Amino acid sequence: MPDAPPHAPHGPLPDGGTVRPMTRWGSAVMHRPQQLVTSFDDELRTLVADMVATMYAADGVGLAACQIGVDQAVFVFDCPDESGEHTVGVVCNPSLTLPEGPDRRLDEGDEGCLSLPGAFIECARPDFATVRGLGLDGEEVEFSGDGLLARCLQHETDHTFGTVFGDRLSTKLRKKLQKQHDKVSDEFPDGWPA
């Protein structure tokens, strides 16, 4: 958790959730588009609170519902941008807008995924991103950012469409990533991080 209060343009993340086991790459729910969120109720609040608790327990900066095995197009995040300022948010049914033409610059930074823990590899992505969607009460939300925040917004939106970042890598890089994960898999047993 950051020392300074995070930037929360649409309110704080819900707390009091239960840490759930992480769903891994290869599970069917990770590789198909998620169901749109249509009910903004207590069940959704409980799910999102559990996602937040799980994200923090796993030392992540973002988490999509499919990563705890739930087929819903929603993600949570608490992530710093290029300047180090943390932004927090919840996005249901996200849509992503990326820079085009001369405004489009790629960031070649390392990327990892809590559903393939302990492995990181370079993955080129646009260095700025905007996500629009709905918040916990069905209100419209929008988040934009650069640096790691841009990468996080793209990565988590991908999850809601059934894409893991390994799908964006060459076969060679994906094998390298898998090898890294296999080397440290003992540190992330079934049920981790619950």
Output the DSSP codes for 78-108.
EEE-TTS-EEEEEEEEEEEE---GGG--EE-
The residue from 43, 108, 139, 156 that is catalytic is 156
Q: What is the DSSP letter of 32?
A: S
User: Can you give the pLDDT at residue 4?
Assistant: 66
User: Can you give the pLDDT at residue 21?
Assistant: 98
User: Can you give the pLDDT at residue 11?
Assistant: 86
User: Can you give the pLDDT at residue 2?
Assistant: 43
Is the separation of the CB atoms in 58 and 22 below 8 Å? yes
| Domains and their CATH numbers in the chain | 28-183 (3.90.45.10)
Please give the model's pTM, rounded to 2 decimal places: 0.95
Which among 103, 188, 65, 90 is positioned nearest to 142, based on CA atoms? 90
> Rounded to an integer, what distance in angstroms lies between the CA atom of residue 74 and that of residue 48?
8
Is the separation of the CB atoms in 10 and 141 below 8 Å? yes
User: Can you give the pLDDT at residue 8?
Assistant: 85
One digit per residue, the tens of pLDDT, for the chain of length 194 reads 445 678 888 889 999 999 999 999 999 999 999 999 999 999 999 999 999 999 999 999 999 999 999 999 999 999 999 999 999 999 999 999 999 999 899 999 999 999 999 999 999 999 999 999 999 999 999 999 999 999 999 999 999 999 999 999 999 999 999 999 999 999 999 999 99
User: Is 100 noted as a catalytic residue in this protein?
Assistant: no
Over its C-alpha atoms, the chain yields an Rg (Å, rounded) of 16
